[in-house]
Amino acid sequence: MFRYIYRYEKAVDVVNDGFVKLFSHFDQFKCEDGVHIERMLMGWIRRIMINTAIDELRKNSLTPEIGGIPDHVWDIPDNSQHADQLIMYKELVSYVKELPPAYRAVFNLFVIDGYSHYEIADVLGISVGTSKSNLSRARVLLQKFLKKSEEIEA
């Protein structure tokens, strides 16, 4: 949630709204595969919560809120990572936080949450081309950030 909504108070409101949507539309959850029902339910809940956060951002024209994304949002639960991979991950996360809001939203939805460009376009109310363009620009900016970082270290 904090990848989309920065302020704790606003995030709590959005989560509450998400649960209201979840419980009022629970009859729409369909699962023919009883073996994977938990995984499917978690995915369905996750999608509702993300869409609720995106609705809130859209209502505010994707304007970033005051504050930053808390670091714990990006923590890797797997402790088996090598130290150099963990450092690179944290560096990349810091650069993602610096992306403009529209680029960051598309990057999060596509790369982190696994949405397609068609789904992103629908959720954000933009064209598929704009989604692809924003992702491309986000990647270019991230590459520039990384290249600049490498130059500083050298």
Task: For residue 86, name the pLDDT band (cuts at 50, 70, 90).
Answer: low
pTM of the model: 0.63
In angstroms, rounded to a whole number, what is the distance separating the alpha carbons of residues 84 and 104?
Answer: 24
Question: Domain 75-154 belongs to what topology?
Answer: Arc Repressor Mutant, subunit A (1.10.10)
Sign of the dihedral defined by the CA atoms of residues 98, 14, 125, 21, in that order: positive
Nearest Cα to Cα of residue 134 among 121, 152, 123:
121
Domain boundaries, the chain: 1-68, 75-154
List, for residues 17-71, the tens digit of each pLDDT value: 999 998 898 888 887 777 778 888 888 888 888 888 888 877 776 554 434 455 5
With contact defined as beta carbons under 8 Å apart, do 123 and 54 qualify? yes
